[in-house]
Amino acid sequence: MYKTIHKYYLCILSNGYNGTLYIGVTNNLERRMFEHKNKLFEGFSKRYNLNRLIYFETFQYVNDAIKREKNMKKWKRQWKINLIEKENPKWNDLSKDWIK
């Protein structure tokens, strides 16, 4: 019997360089970015046009992803910016080629 290995993602979205930040968790990053880019749901991300994936982490267990999300939401803004810019200094949209 094979065990299915799940993937969960913590993601940080923005509306531009040094812009508003959104932190969330999903089990399907490509689908979630499609939803954000097409503004399919009301709320914070639609209101602030948060449709650029600027950082993400992958987890095997959903509880680990949620724990990281809750912890990161308590961080100072500058800590989040430092994390983003370590991996993505120009705040490029990491999902720009995923959705046609």
Tell me the domain boundaries of the chain. Answer: 8-87
Tell me the per-residue pLDDT of 26-63, one tens digit each, with 9 for 90 and over.
999 999 999 999 999 899 999 999 999 999 999 999 99
Give Cα 79 to chain centroid, integer Å: 16
Percent of the chain with pLDDT over 90: 89
CA neighbor of 14 nearest in space, from 36, 43, 40: 36
Q: Spell out a b/e string for 18-50, using b for 16 or more CB atoms within 10 Å of the CB, else e.
A: eeebbbbbbeebeebbebbbeeeeeeebeeebb
Domain 8-87: CATH superfamily, name plus number: GIY-YIG endonuclease (3.40.1440.10)
10 Å Cβ neighbour count for 78? 8
Please name the amino acid found at residue 16.
G
Beta carbons within 8 Å of 77's beta carbon, 6+ residues apart: 21
pLDDT at 4 over 90: no
Helix (H, G, I), strand (E, B) or coil at 8: strand
pLDDT score at 6: 87
pLDDT score at 67: 98
Q: Residues 68-85: what's their mean pLDDT? A: 98
pLDDT score at 5: 80
pTM for this predicted structure: 0.91
pLDDT band at 1 (very low <50, low <70, confident <90, very high): low
